[in-house]
Structure 1
Amino acid sequence: MAATVHVTPLDDLIEHETDSDDPSCVCGPKTVPLEIGGLVAWAHVHPSLDGREFAEEA
């Protein structure tokens, strides 16, 4: 059995689509497998549209 989860940024420029097991959001989420206690979960990791993950930390 497989589970699906969505990882989304908070307070982004859009509301990310998380109602589906498919990665159908306009941001183009990356799908990665996770194994948790013998269960395989698919994580759809949504990038932010404001680009915050590209900001360098000082």
Structure 2
Amino acid sequence: MAATMHVTPLNDLIDHDTDSEEPSCVCGPQAVPVGIGGLIAWAYVHASLDGREFAEEVP
């Protein structure tokens, strides 16, 4: 059994599609497997359309 979750940016230029079990949003979310207990959950990580993640500093 697998679970699905979505990680979306706040206050973006669009409303991201988080209602489906597939990564069907216009931003082209990246599917990332996450182990939780004995399950594998899929986290769909959505990109912002305003590009804010490119301006963030990575430690």
Q: Same fold (TM over 0.5)?
A: yes
Instruction: Give the TM-score of the pair, scaled to structure 1.
Output: 0.93
Runs of 4+ in 1 over 3 A off after TM superposition: none
- Provide the aligned length of Structure 1 versus Structure 2: 57
C-alpha distance in structure 2 between counterparts of 1:46 and 1:5, whole Å: 11
Instruction: Give the TM-score of the pair, scaled to structure 2.
Output: 0.92
Question: 1:56: how far off?
Answer: 4.1
Q: Percent identity?
A: 77
What runs of 5+ residues in structure 1 fail to find an aligned partner? none
What runs of 5+ residues in structure 2 fail to find an aligned partner? none
Change (3 A) 1:2 1:52: same
